[in-house]
A and B are shown apart, each in its own frame.
Chain A
Amino acid sequence: MLYALKIAARYLTANKGQTALLVLGVAVGVFIFIFMSALIGGLAEFILSRTVGDMSHITIQAETVDPPLLIAPDGAVLVASERGETRTATLSQSATWVPLIAAVPGVKAVSPQISGAGLLARGAQSAQVSVTGVEPGNESAILDLDGYMVEGSARLASDGIILGQKLADDLSLSLGQTLRLQSSDGATILLTLGGIFLTGNGAMDDGRAFVSLSTARSLFDTPQGVTRIEIKLDDLNSADDIALRIRALTGLDAVPWTDGAEQLMEALDAQAQTGIFLKTFALITIVIGVASALLLSTYRRRPEIGIMRAMGAGRGFVVFVFVMQGGLVGLMGGLSGAVLGYLALLPFPSRDEFRAGTLPMDITQGSYGLAILLTVIGAVLASILPARSAARVDPVTAIGQ
């Protein structure tokens, strides 16, 4: 109905000021919708990246094998223990599993690791450290070491070690110095300080040391396999599903990050609910605004509606004229609100640069299309009531008044 559209457009342009106000009102509603989407989405992103961003999304930990119990005939309980086996269990076949896991769709990175406790010493000073051996070239697979480096490089040389800044400060270390690292097993290795990082996480900056996987092998006497496999995903939210697949694929106990993170999930959920609530209110405001403006317009145009009906315009035509007005207002308000929202979000730091203290608005999560679509639908629905009342105008009384 091109002709009804023309009349609708004419009605809107005939009262430019009024239409502009109405469109502005709708745009503000859309703006709020987009702002809320970006804020709630950004907040979730921010909270997740702060809490799980640097974490393994799925972790496979070697199970500590309980030493077998032997019951002696006299009733005494004996523990059979072999040296090495009590200390750490290993995932002995990691070499086969790692490529298998890496091939699972949705897996971004796989990091086989050997970890243990150690004593770091330089001269007379020493400190307890938790040592993680990772594959050189794969240092930033889970924790973004590269991004946290303050000195040196995250790239591990075979005799290299990377430390947190606090630890380096405590021991007054500087790049290139040689350190002695002694494992809890008693093995000692000399390493060169190749980089210093600062993550903002105290325990990490204070007591973590990264070495190459081969260094960790000799340090912890693990010639085969690894103690832990950490997996990073493209999408955090697919952890449960992918963990199941990995379990089915390897038979290993793959644990998604969501295990034990129920409170966090609940908090995020509540936050998302709040967002939906506020967005719904923004939409309701739009619907009420459009409905009341159009209702007023149908009242003001009663004589004209009567004329059109007398000239042979059917009820459906009249309905169409007013529904089109609603649709046009929704479209214009939706588009301008989306543009306004986008412009307003531009100054905020991008999602990779969220900082504490600023609103973590994520411009990519503005739901612009959805906002426009829902607004148009809402405005069209809002116009149905006025349109129907317009179609019911009695030409006789309308023209006679």
Chain B
Amino acid sequence: MSALLEVRDLVKTYGSGEAATRVLRGLSLRLDTGEMAALLGPSGSGKSTLLTILGTLMKPTSGSHVMLGQDLIAAGDRELTAFRNLHIGFVFQFHNLLPDFTALENVIFPTSVREGRETPAARERGRDLLVRMGLGDRIDFPSANLSGGQKQRVAVARALMNSPELVLADEPTGNLDRASAMQVMELIGQINREEGTTFLISTHDEKIAGFCRRQIVVGDGLVTG
């Protein structure tokens, strides 16, 4: 398998002076195309920090970050925005959807924002994704009125909209009941198998982690397992 992304010697320090907290202390990690990996570790170990850096939403204090052959440390805001749009999908724990938009409008946002309008082709793909997520009857539903599990499935559909190589999910099932959590994980596993999309999912839940073939454990600012 080929390397999709590689980070080396990542250091992330929040704040400065006496208040400085060193969260990542030289962390290195490589993810290959088609992997399905769980990110584990105690609370405060730096899982969200790592995902944020991998998602190009934040730069590390030092270290290298290469994805798809591109040096993302050197890239500017504009390049990173375009890169994220094309190559990285996100699923967050909270605040995932734009509440004033329908499920479909949310799903196709990554394409619409790139093309400057909502095209019929994007709508077509968005609908397919929603049907695949079992939300065929909620396509034009206001997203604010969806249940928690439904919202997370819409978020997964949106993360897949631009067919990114990598999807980063930060506790995507953190506030779902077990049944909904399993449903979301099964869908993610299915996409991973069928389309080869790489997933990195942070979680505290062993059962969720069990869905993933690889387990990455973070502790003390390093990968410990």
Contact = CB atoms under 8 A, between A and B. Distances in A.
Interface of A: 1-3, 6, 10-11, 14, 303-304, 306-315, 317, 395-396, 398-401
B57 interface: yes
Contacts of B57: 309-310, 395-396
Given A3-B113, A14-B100, A312 B81 contact: yes
Contacts of A315: 77, 81
Interface stretch (B36-44, B67-75, B85-93): B85-93
A400 B48 contact: yes
B95 A304 contact: yes
Contacts of A310: 55, 57, 84, 90
Interface residues of B, number: 33
11 contacts: A2-B116, A3-B115, A308-B98, A310-B90, A311-B158, A313-B113, A317-B113, A395-B57, A396-B52, A396-B57, A401-B95
Contact of B112 (A3, A10, A398, A401): A3
A307 B81 CA distance: 12
A311 B95 contact: no
B113 A308 contact: yes
Contact of A307 (B55, B77, B78, B95): B95
A46 B57 CA distance: 65
A284 B26 CA distance: 54
Contacts of A312: 81-82, 84-86, 110, 113-114, 162
Contacts of A311: 84-85, 90, 109-110, 113, 158
9 closest Cβ pairs, A-B complex: A312-B85, A303-B95, A14-B100, A313-B113, A311-B110, A314-B81, A2-B117, A395-B57, A396-B58
B95 A309 contact: no
Interface of B: 48, 52, 55, 57-58, 77-78, 81-82, 84-86, 90, 92, 94-101, 109-110, 112-118, 158, 162
A309 B101 CA distance: 16
B86 A304 contact: no
A375 to B, nearest CB: 25
A319 to B, nearest CB: 13
A185 B99 CA distance: 95
Given A395-B57, A396-B58, A304 B90 contact: no
Given A2-B116, A3-B112, A317-B113, A307 B48 contact: no
Contact of B118 (A3, A307, A400): A3
A11 B101 CA distance: 9
Quick one: which of B52, B58, B95 has the most chain A CB within 10 A? Answer: B95
A330 B92 CA distance: 36
Given A11-B100, A311-B84, A311-B158, 13 more contacts: A3-B116, A10-B100, A10-B101, A14-B99, A307-B95, A310-B84, A312-B85, A312-B113, A312-B114, A313-B81, A395-B57, A396-B57, A401-B95
B113 A307 contact: no
A395 B99 CA distance: 17
B41 to A, nearest CB: 17
Contacts of B98: 304, 307-308
A376 B162 CA distance: 36
A401 B99 CA distance: 16
A399 B92 contact: yes
A395 to B, nearest CB: 5
A396 B56 CA distance: 10
B89 to A, nearest CB: 9
Contacts of A2: 116-117
